[in-house]
């Protein structure tokens, strides 16, 4: 009964997954701190408390994410692109295109039928196509970022933003609030603006079905729905686990292979 783990240290959140006997045993998500090593230790401690297992019982652990090289307890480090590809293909075998929207970056990944990486594209460090864009807009709206997707579903007249730039969109949101536009219409406009920016990156590669969205933004129904409409394809949902954990799942799978 080999136990393996994957630890994904991202810019905003740190995730961990433990797989035992080819099944996900436990997972955890926590906010990332300024030191990746401490964030990784914290998320693993949460899992140890949940399961009662110890670090010594983990046969192999793979780290991923921007802070992967700083994790003290991992056996190997693998890029987040490879881990998201591996995790998504395991969770949804028919997936060929993955749109990973993280806290501060966005990537589009293409796989072959065996789940091997074919090509990928990453954003140009602009916040507008990342979770950071939604965080900024939610703060201006004085609401939790998770409410953006819920409220947008109630919109009957979504607003249109002239620019996908975070700075200009933020100014537009303030103007719309002052003009008493309904919050749900502003939220719908924010999600569509986000989807438009992501679609620009996605269209640099030839999208191939099935398509799925990973990362924290995958939990925003408004963004996923708008992105599906803009790209003209149905987006397959990852339902076996929180889509934000996809990279950590992939890391754990790489750990299992290394055994």
- For the chain, the structural domain boundaries read 1-92+240-259, 94-237
- Whole-structure pTM over 0.85, yes or no? yes
Q: Residue 250 is encoded by which pair of tokens?
A: 């992939």
Of 64, 62, 48, residue with least CA distance to 8: 64
What was the pLDDT predicted at 75?
96
pLDDT of 115: 80
Displacement of CA 174 from its chain's centroid (Å): 27
What's the Cα-to-Cα distance from 39 to each of 33, 36, 70, 121, 134, rounded to whole Å? 6, 5, 10, 27, 23
Superfamily name and number for 94-237: ATPase, nucleotide binding domain (3.30.420.40)
> Domain 1-92+240-259 - what CATH class?
alpha beta
Alpha-carbon distance 87 to 64, whole Å? 12
Beta strands 58-64 and 76-77: pairing type? parallel
Q: Please, what is the angle between helix 166-178 and helix 131-141, to 10°?
A: 20
> CA Rg, the chain, in Å?
19
Same fold, 1-92+240-259 and 94-237: yes
pLDDT of res. 22: 87
pLDDT value for 124: 64
Say what the pLDDT of residue 1 is. Answer: 58
Looking at residue 127, what is its pLDDT?
A: 67
Question: How would you write the pLDDT of the chain (259 residues) with one tens digit per residue?
Answer: 589 999 999 988 999 999 998 899 999 999 999 999 999 999 999 999 999 999 999 999 999 998 899 999 999 999 999 999 999 999 999 999 999 998 888 999 999 887 889 999 998 666 677 888 999 999 999 999 989 999 999 999 999 998 778 888 899 999 999 999 999 999 999 999 999 999 999 999 989 999 999 999 999 999 999 999 999 999 998 888 999 999 999 999 999 999 8
Q: Which residues contact 232 (CB under 8 A, 6 or more apart)?
A: none
Exposure class string for 120-156: b at 16+ Cβ within 10 A, else e:
beebeebbbbbbbbbbbbbebbeeebeebbebbeebe
Bridge-partner residues for 100, per DSSP? Answer: 107, 214
């Amino acid at each position: 009964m080999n136990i393996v783990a994957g630890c994904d240290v991202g810019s905003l959140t740190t995730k961990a997954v433990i797989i035992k006997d080819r099944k996900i045993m436990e997972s955890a998500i926590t906010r990332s701190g300024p030191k990746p090593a401490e964030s990784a230790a914290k998320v693993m401690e949460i899992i140890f408390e949940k399961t009662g297992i110890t670090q010594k019982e983990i046969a192999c652990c793979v780290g991923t994410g921007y802070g992967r090289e700083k994790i003290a307890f991992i056996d190997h480090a693998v890029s987040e692109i490879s881990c998201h590809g591996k995790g998504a293909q395991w969770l949804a075998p028919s997936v060929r295109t993955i749109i990973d929207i993280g806290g501060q970056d966005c990537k589009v990944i293409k796989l072959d039928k065996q789940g091997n990486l074919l090509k990928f594209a990453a954003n140009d460090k602009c916040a507008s196509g990342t979770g950071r864009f939604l965080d900024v807009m939610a703060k201006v709206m004085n609401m939790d970022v998770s409410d953006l997707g819920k409220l947008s579903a109630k919109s009957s007249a979504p607003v249109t933003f002239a620019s996908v730039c975070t700075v200009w969109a933020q100014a537009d949101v303030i103007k719309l609030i002052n003009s008493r536009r309904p919050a749900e219409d502003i939220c719908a406009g924010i999600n569509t603006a986000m989807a438009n920016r992501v679609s620009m990156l996605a269209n640099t590669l030839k999208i191939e079905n099935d398509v799925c969205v990973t990362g924290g933004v995958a939990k925003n129904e408004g963004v996923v729905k708008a992105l599906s409409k803009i790209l003209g394809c149905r987006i397959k949902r990852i339902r076996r686990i929180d889509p934000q954990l996809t990279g950590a799942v992939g890391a754990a799978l790489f750990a299992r292979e290394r055994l």
